[in-house]
Every structure is written in structure tokens, then in C-alpha cells.
Amino acid sequence: MLQVNGENAMCGRFGEEEEYVALAHRYRAVMRVVDPGPRFNVAPTQPVAVIVEHEGERSLTHHRWGLVPFFAKDLKIGARMINARAETLMTQAAFKDSFVGRRCIVPATRFYEWRTIGKTKIPFSILRNDHAPMHFAGLWASWRDRASGERVLSCSIVTTEPNELMRQLHDRMPVILDDEAVAQWLDPSFQDIEALQRLLVPYPDNDDLFMYRVSPLVNNANNEGPELVEPSN
């Protein structure tokens, strides 16, 4: 879904809580940015940690959340491209080239989804039982401002149909890759489209993921802090 408001988008908010040193070790990546500390309410257009393989190096770096294709006139389009539907990656001009050769992992400790009851939107946190980062399948792009010459790196999170857990809240969910799929997804020289498409499936219906209700403080992207993920009645 190409939407930006947190409680309406999938995936429109997530948490980035593991230390970058640990993330770099987990992905065997070179850390290219300073760790900002745990973030509990990452929102569109903000810088997010990504794992990329480029020019022979796997690195942990920052990309702007909301993919800006090279042909865009300005950055505004990125706010509508925070997600990319797995089913249409090869038919969308903004995502096709990135799918073929510019893929990334967006590590996320948790993501949020909302249940609507009447006019009230109730936020839920979804995460792994072991609280380890999930490997979100992502795409990245490089855009250059014609006026200033500034280069902007951006990314989008790939979504797919929901599993049974997520179907309680939404009709989409982020693609969460298993450990074995990470290397293949990150390798820009691997361009077997059919094989890549087979990775873009709902997370298995097992007990690896769970969800719980959290504070409505998370509804406001300006709010931040561990109190956002405390269980709420």
C-alpha cells in the first residue's frame, strides 16, 4: 500500500531497538553510521537502518524511508512509497529496477498495526517471541537533486498477504525473510526473478510472532520512548 499515515499504512511504523554494533555483527556488515540509540516509533521519511550489498561490500547504513526513484522530480513522491506490493514489483516503474538489483534488509524489532473499533484506532505491537530483529525485505534507490547535486538514498518495505495472526488486523503484512533467504535477497548479482518472487510470501503460521496492545501514544509520530511499547489494556 502506498500510504503514509501510520495507522493506515502497512507497514507504516516500526521499532528499531537493537544496538547497531549487534546488528552489524548479526548481518556481518560494516557499520557506516552512528548508532542513534533505540527507536520505538520510526515513521515515514525518517532515516532508517538498512543492510545493503553494494560494490562488493555489505554495510549497515541509513536510507530515507520512502523510496524516491531516480526519475522523480523531487522527494515528495517518497512519502507515498514507503511500501511496495510484492505482487506488482515488476510492473511498477518505481520499483522494478530496485527489485532486480537494489534490494536491502530493513531490520525491525517490532512493527505496529491498528484495529479500528468504531471511531477508535487501537495500536498493536507485533514482534518475535525471542525479540530478535525481523528481516524485512526492502528495496532501495539512489536519487540526485538536479539543483543541488545532493544524493539521497531511500528505501521501501515490501508487503504481502497476511498470515493468520496479521489477518486479525490488516489485509497486508511486511515480508519477513528467514535467515537463509537474507544472503540471496541482498546479493545484487542474483537476478532470478521467479526465485526472488518465491521469497515474498506471508510469514509462516507458527508461534514465532506474537502481538499485544500498546499505548495510543504510538499513534503520534512525534512521540518516542520505551513507554510506547508498554502493554496497554
Q: What is the pLDDT of residues 157-195, one digit of tens each?
A: 999 999 999 999 999 999 999 999 999 999 999 999 999
DSSP 33-62: S-----EEEE-TTSEEEEEEEETTEEEEEE
- pLDDT surpassing 70 at residue 222: yes
- The percentage of residues in the chain with a pLDDT greater than 70, rounded to a whole number, is 96
Q: Provide the pLDDT confidence category of residue 147 given band limits of 50, 70 and 90.
A: confident
Q: Provide the pLDDT confidence category of residue 9 given band limits of 50, 70 and 90.
A: low
- Given this model, what pLDDT does residue 122 score? 93
- Out of 6-20, 28-42, 206-220, which region has the weakest mean confidence (pLDDT)? 6-20
- pLDDT surpassing 70 at residue 3: no
Beta bridge partners of 152: 143
- Given this model, what pLDDT does residue 233 score? 78
- pLDDT surpassing 90 at residue 154: yes
- pLDDT surpassing 90 at residue 65: yes
CB 27 within 8 A of CB 214: no
- Given this model, what pLDDT does residue 5 score? 35
Note the Cα 3 to chain centre separation in Å: 14
pLDDT one-digit tens code per residue, 67-88: 999 999 999 999 999 999 999 9
Please compute the mean of the pLDDT values over residues 95-122 and round it to a whole number.
94
Pick left, alpha or beta for residue 88 (phi over 0 → left; psi -120 to 50 → alpha; otherwise beta).
alpha
Q: Provide the pLDDT confidence category of residue 146 given band limits of 50, 70 and 90.
A: confident
Copy the grid coordinates of residue 169: 488486523
Residues known to be catalytic = 11, 113
Q: pTM of the predicted model, to two decimals? A: 0.93
- pLDDT surpassing 70 at residue 7: no
CB 40 within 8 A of CB 226: yes
Please compute the mean of the pLDDT values over residues 91-108 and round it to a whole number.
96
